[in-house]
Chain A
Amino acid sequence: MPLIDLANPSRFLALVGKMLPWLVAATLVALAAGLWQALFVAPDDYQQGATVKIMFVHVPSAWLAMAIWALMSIAALGTLAWRHPLADVAAKAAAPLGAGFTFLCLLTGSLWGRPMWGTYWVWDARLTSVLVMFLMYLGLIALWRTVEDPSRAGRAAAILTLVGAINLPIIKFSVDWWNTLHQPASVVRVGGPAIHPSILVPLLTMALALTLLFATLHLAAMRNEILRRRVRTMQMLAAQGASA
């Protein structure tokens, strides 16, 4: 089905209604399989013990945090170049989810850092650039919440998303450079040998599960947003009718 057919929100809502139960089921299955593998099958690390299992949530969250910004950038192009009516709905629904996954990544990283590095936070290049990305997600959400008219808010947010997409790699590069300049002493790099399949398979399963979770939540949030806009239009029409 070409993307243009989805421009009709009613058709999109019907499709979402059909897809959501399957997505929820797939998410539950993948999440159960991933968690079972991560918690019971994957071996403990010989140095880090059971805390290494935090990685199975931490790493996929970091991947998703970046992927969601990429998704929002594509949606931003859809808003600005093609004025696709669902593009800004998709972007708006993705922003809080992206912020959520970024926060999950920071939180799990911090909880993992406490036993491993002896501190909740270090100004390591990666941590710092994820923190900056979190700030940019929050700024984007703040922009969405400041403009009342959804289509105007959509275009403003689309511009900011694209500027962010250009800037995030530059910020990442600068922070890397800044970090090597400062040379932190306390950071223990995990590095070492390549990942063993016994760890890699649960990791990829968890990544799949969290991606499905995102897809489910995203479609549901898009549906809510479309319905919310309809309610808004109906309320405005009703207010006009009442005043006339």
Chain B
Amino acid sequence: MISLKALLIRDVRIAVRIGGGALMGVLFFLSIVTLTPFALGPDLKLLARIGPAILWIGALLASLLALDRLFAADHEDGSLDLILMGRAPLELVVAAKALAHWLTTGLPLVIASPILGLILNLDANAIAAVAATLLVGTPALTYMGTIGAALAVTLRRGGLLLPVLVLPLTIPVLIFGVAAANAAAGGTVSFAAPFTILCALTLMSIVVGPFAAAAALRAGME
């Protein structure tokens, strides 16, 4: 437990210091949300209607973009080998690393989403719903993404492979995240049904992700 805590603190520290690039994801998120009205036109009604979807797509892409750093830096400087040889179970290590990654890339997206919701003309209800669904849903993206990150880490040409592998796995999260947000913004479906399924998806990916990612790391590092 102590080593996992140390790993968590180390990862968060590395991410927030110079060269860590923790806030790069938020910047990308902001850029995507700013770009969308240029493509769709400045119609505030339209933006309010599809705002939750824009925010979710932006958050999905932003968290995907940061994923390749999850293991790559450790692989480059050799600390990944040390971690693999350590006594802490690899599954828990992956879970701790993913938690640190979410704290530094996923959580900032959640915190930034209300402000971006404002410029997309969302009302207070919808802003709260988007923030709540992102808070619950982005861990699922990170933990599902660990599988792709672990598969791609040892590859020299893994760059585009990661999103290709991870994106299909994130479809359920996207569906239920946007559905719950839209429901709160005034739909016909209840908010609770998609939201609880979103919670279930997150819990499931927290279980499946570390196991698959640990297996992928073991297979890749041999």
Contact = CB atoms under 8 A, between A and B. Distances in A.
B171 A171 contact: yes
B164 A159 contact: no
Interface residues of A, number: 27
A147 B175 CA distance: 32
Nearest to B178: A178
B59 interface: no
Given A139-B165, A143-B161, A178-B175, A156 B189 contact: no
B171 A174 contact: yes
Contact of B215 (A80, A177, A178): A80
B176 interface: yes
Contacts of B222: 152
Given A146-B155, A181-B179, A159 B216 contact: yes
A175 B170 CA distance: 12
Contact of B212 (A136, A159, A175): A159
A177 B177 CA distance: 13
A135 B170 CA distance: 13
B175 A156 contact: no
Contact of A159 (B147, B158, B171, B204): B147
A174 B215 contact: no
Nearest to B165: A139
Contacts of B189: 181
Interface of A is mostly: helix
B165 A147 contact: no
Nearest to A137: B168
Contacts of A163: 147, 169, 208, 212
A84 interface: no
A156 B220 contact: yes
B215 A142 contact: no
A132 interface: yes
Among A142, A166, A174, A175: residue with most chain B CB under 10 A: A174
Contacts of A136: 168
B172 A174 contact: yes
Interface in B182-218: 189, 197, 201, 204, 208, 212, 215-216
A170 to B, nearest CB: 5
A177 B175 contact: yes
A155 B219 contact: yes
A147 B167 CA distance: 20
B84 to A, nearest CB: 15
A156 B172 CA distance: 23
A132 B215 contact: no
A147 B216 CA distance: 13
29 contacts: A135-B164, A135-B168, A138-B164, A139-B165, A142-B161, A146-B155, A146-B158, A152-B220, A152-B222, A156-B216, A159-B147, A159-B212, A159-B216, A163-B147, A163-B208, A167-B168, A167-B169, A167-B172, A170-B172, A173-B172, A174-B171, A174-B172, A174-B175, A175-B175, A177-B175, A177-B179, A178-B179, A181-B179, A181-B189
Interface of A: 80, 132, 135-136, 138-139, 142-143, 146-147, 152, 155-156, 159-160, 162-163, 166-167, 170-171, 173-175, 177-178, 181
